[in-house]
Amino acid sequence: MTEKSRPLSEILGSEQVPPHLARSVIEERLRSAILDGRLPPGRALRQQELATLFGVSRMPVREALRQLEAQSLLQVVAHKGAVVAPLIGEDAVDTYALRVLLESEALRQSIPLLDADDIALARSYISQLENETRHAEIGRLNRLFHMSLYSKASNKKLLHLIEVELNEEERFLRFHLSSMGLGKLTQDDHNGLVDAANDKSVDDAIRVLERHLNTAAKTIKAYLNSRPVE
């Protein structure tokens, strides 16, 4: 049985949820299953099936699906409804070019306001990444590391857009990290980012970020181009 054909009850569980928590619980369970690959790209999610599974009306299901679509984890496809969004693909270079623009601005806003606790938190994520071997956890820690440096940015819309892009990267890393060999280089750049942030050197941090993301984009593009056509 493929992942796309597994019953949702096996993937998400089938316990009923309280009506007043339905939207948030359904959103979080679906989000977790998408990020860890239990719901793979292309998997269709039917509103009525989800409503029956969780014992709720279709309204909280519809709201949860809309939230996940806003996070770029779902797409609405004609005649299929909501489906799990594809991973980073041929537009990898464009995706990372956008991240450079967004995350550079976040660093400009956030670095002057970061304190010792923020720097310590970022370094703690690096320490965990250096010792972590589980691909799912590496993707999660990578997202948390980057967001820890952007957390003091005043533009919350900007932070939302960045987190959408980091979610996409997290999903890709969970599926493909073992084939790419980015580990040590990634931590060198992460350390450079934290050092620059600690020194309040915004320009240096942006230079490290640009190098980091451009290298990742080239590596992902080369990896995708090297894979056999399915």
CATH of the domain at 115: 1.20.120.530
Contact 200, 113 (CB under 8 A): no
Instruction: List beta partners, residue 84.
Output: 74
| Count of structural domains, the chain | 2
Q: Do residues 149 and 48 share a domain?
A: no
Q: Do residues 29 and 57 share a domain?
A: yes
**Which of 56, 84, 112 is the last residue before a domain boundary?**
84
Q: Do residues 74 and 115 share a domain?
A: no
pLDDT at 102: 97
Q: Give the ranges where 78-155 is alpha helix by DSSP (H).
A: 92-110, 116-131, 135-150
Range(s) of the domain holding residue 36: 3-84
Which of helix, strand or coil describes residue 45? strand
Which CATH number do you get for residue 61?
A: 1.10.10.10
Q: Do residues 125 and 35 share a domain?
A: no
Q: Do residues 168 and 114 share a domain?
A: yes
Q: Do residues 126 and 74 share a domain?
A: no
CA–CA gap between residue 62 and residue 50 (Å, rounded): 10
CA–CA gap between residue 23 and residue 4 (Å, rounded): 23
CA–CA gap between residue 40 and residue 36 (Å, rounded): 9
Q: Do residues 45 and 104 share a domain?
A: no
- Residues 33/38/44/50 CA torsion (nearest 10 deg): -50
CA–chain centroid gap for 75, Å, is 15
Instruction: List beta partners, residue 77.
Output: 81
pLDDT at 87: 77
Q: Do residues 107 and 204 share a domain?
A: yes
Q: Do residues 99 and 75 share a domain?
A: no
Q: Do residues 213 and 99 share a domain?
A: yes
- How do beta strands 74-77 and 81-84 pair? antiparallel
Contact 22, 56 (CB under 8 A): yes
Q: Give the ranges where the chain is alpha helix by DSSP (H).
A: 8-12, 22-35, 47-54, 58-70, 92-110, 116-131, 135-150, 156-176, 183-198, 202-226
**Which of 51, 68, 84 is the last residue before a domain boundary?**
84
pLDDT at 179: 67
What is the model's pTM? 0.73
DSSP assigned state of 202: H
Q: Do residues 208 and 121 share a domain?
A: yes
CA–CA gap between residue 31 and residue 50 (Å, rounded): 14
pLDDT at 41: 87
DSSP assigned state of 86: P
**Which of 49, 84, 119 is the last residue before a domain boundary?**
84
pLDDT single digits (tens) 108-123: 999 999 999 999 999 9
pLDDT at 120: 98
Contact 188, 71 (CB under 8 A): no
Ramachandran category for residue 7: left, alpha or beta (phi over 0 → left; psi -120 to 50 → alpha): beta
Q: Do residues 203 and 120 share a domain?
A: yes
- Enumerate residue ranges in the chain where pLDDT < 70: 1-5, 89-90, 175, 177-186, 227-230
